[in-house]
């Protein structure tokens, strides 16, 4: 008994980590890690990434052999702000972020223009500050935001208001959004770029449809700046792929200038007739995003893992898919503290499984494309805590579970 009492403090002292993920295939694009390793977490931070970290050094060891361990995924195009209904407002198509993020390995989302500067304070108080998911924002250049019926009003394109709000919320507001503008000219794009120049933050563009004045060539060659983001890159609405099946040279020129190309799948912005030839010609996206909203979640898009699976089946290897879902978007929104497994970084981690069978994937028109691989999230950590555990990998077997010790929530 005396020996046991002396040994117990020593064992406790040896448990340097709160949790260690054992035996998974770690993919950390920022650090060029693509190998079987263990990942240890302590105090909500990444504590160590190395082969064969002893399980005895952690309070909890989780077997993730045969799975991929990656940085927490970053979805840079979602809609998660439901503003209070008022006369004249459209019914919101936004969704609650925590209900969709962790179950697909996502730990950070970026609301893409749902809010303008006038309602950003409410968005921050109701969504950013209350969500377990990290919620960031691309501020709409339209002061009233998306879905207000004012997106074509030039008087709503408020550069100073947007820039001032962005500078007051650095790190949370990570850029500006120009979207759904149906005016004949370039007003929305020009104003968003002007706000970008005042703040150093990028612009994400949902370009809508072409007209007699606006075209993709001028947008990508002249209007946007290096570091700006062209979302819905496989939509086909702006001649991303020409009638002869060739990728529009403007897309290639835009990439050469430093424009980033984002999926932004959504309900109407991903089509096989664009994605397949683009992949065949080597024009792959820089980032994967869902454009999550009520119109897309039960349609072709489904969720972030489904969109990632589509690109996996088109030919991107899993390490490239992870790069497009973590480190690349982190760089695009200028948040280099995210999207990696650096020691000392916040422990946002996804553990992914790739199932192999025969699957069907649906685009925004309802057309199917077959594939043989499907990504699913087994486990998600947010700040080192288990936020999603599909198969109880990080949980204790019920036969030995201390039901008599409340609370039961994991520390």
- Tokens, residue 307: 């969109």
Instruction: Judge whether 44 lies within some domain.
Output: no
The closest alpha carbon to 264, from 311, 211, 313, belongs to 311
pLDDT at 409: 57
Q: How many CB atoms lie within 10 A of CB 208?
A: 19
Q: How many CA atoms lie within 13 A of 132 on its CB side?
A: 17
Q: Cα–Cα distance between 290 and 307 in angstroms, integer? A: 7
Instruction: Judge whether 225 lies within some domain.
Output: yes
Instruction: Judge whether 16 lies within some domain.
Output: no
pLDDT at 392: 96
Residues of the chain with pLDDT under 70: 1-13, 85-91, 408-411
Instruction: Judge whether 359 lies within some domain.
Output: no
Instruction: Judge whether 169 lies within some domain.
Output: yes
Structural domain count of the chain: 1
pLDDT tens column, 178-199 = 998 888 899 999 999 999 999 9
pLDDT at 288: 98
For tokens 């407002």, the residue is 89
Instruction: Judge whether 4 lies within some domain.
Output: no
CATH code, domain with 255: 3.20.20.140
Instruction: Judge whether 379 lies within some domain.
Output: no
Q: Cα–Cα distance between 126 and 256 in angstroms, integer? A: 40
The closest alpha carbon to 105, from 352, 386, 356, belongs to 352
Q: Cα–Cα distance between 375 and 350 in angstroms, integer? A: 12
Q: Which domain holds residue 246?
A: 72-340
Q: Cα–Cα distance between 337 and 92 in angstroms, integer? A: 32
Q: How many CA atoms lie within 13 A of 145 on its CB side?
A: 27
Q: Cα–Cα distance between 73 and 246 in angstroms, integer? A: 31
| pTM score, whole prediction | 0.94
Instruction: Judge whether 302 lies within some domain.
Output: yes
């Amino acid at each position: 008994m005396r020996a046991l009492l002396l040994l117990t403090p020593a064992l406790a002292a040896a448990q340097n980590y709160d949790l260690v993920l054992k035996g998974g295939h770690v993919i950390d694009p920022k650090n060029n890690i693509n190998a079987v390793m263990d990942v240890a977490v302590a105090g909500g931070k990444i504590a160590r990434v190395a082969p064969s970290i002893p399980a005895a050094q952690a309070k909890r060891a989780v077997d993730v052999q045969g799975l991929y361990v990656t940085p927490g995924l970053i979805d840079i195009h979602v809609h998660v702000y439901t503003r209070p209904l008022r006369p004249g407002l459209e019914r919101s198509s936004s969704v609650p972020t925590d209900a969709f993020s962790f179950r697909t390995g996502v730990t950070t989302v970026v609301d893409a223009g749902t809010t303008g500067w006038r309602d950003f304070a409410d968005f921050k108080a109701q969504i950013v500050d209350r969500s377990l998911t990290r919620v960031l924002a691309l501020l709409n250049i339209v002061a009233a935001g998306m879905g207000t019926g004012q997106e074509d009003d030039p008087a709503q394109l408020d550069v100073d208001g947007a820039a001032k709000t962005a500078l007051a919320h650095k790190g949370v507001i990570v850029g500006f959004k120009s979207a759904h503008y149906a005016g004949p000219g370039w007003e929305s794009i020009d104003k968003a770029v002007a706000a970008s120049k005042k703040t150093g933050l990028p612009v994400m563009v949902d370009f809508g449809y072409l007209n007699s004045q606006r075209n993709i060539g001028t947008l990508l060659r002249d209007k946007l700046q290096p570091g700006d983001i062209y979302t819905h890159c496989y939509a086909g609405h702006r001649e991303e792929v020409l009638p002869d099946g060739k990728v529009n040279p403007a897309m290639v020129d835009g990439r050469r200038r430093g424009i980033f190309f984002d999926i932004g799948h959504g309900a109407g912005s991903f089509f096989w007739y664009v994605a397949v030839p683009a992949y065949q010609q080597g024009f792959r996206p820089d980032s994967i995003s869902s454009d999550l909203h009520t119109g897309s979640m039960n349609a072709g898009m489904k969720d972030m893992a489904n969109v990632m699976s589509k690109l996996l089946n088109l030919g991107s290897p899993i390490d490239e898919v992870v790069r497009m879902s973590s480190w690349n978007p982190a760089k695009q929104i200028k948040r280099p503290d995210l999207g990696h497994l650096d020691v000392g970084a916040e422990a946002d981690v996804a553990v992914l499984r790739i199932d192999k069978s025969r699957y069907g994937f649906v685009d925004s028109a309802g057309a199917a494309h077959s594939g043989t691989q499907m990504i699913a999230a087994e486990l998600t950590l947010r700040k080192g805590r288990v936020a999603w555990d599909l198969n109880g990998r990080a949980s204790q077997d019920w036969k030995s579970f201390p039901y008599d010790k409340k609370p039961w929530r994991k520390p």
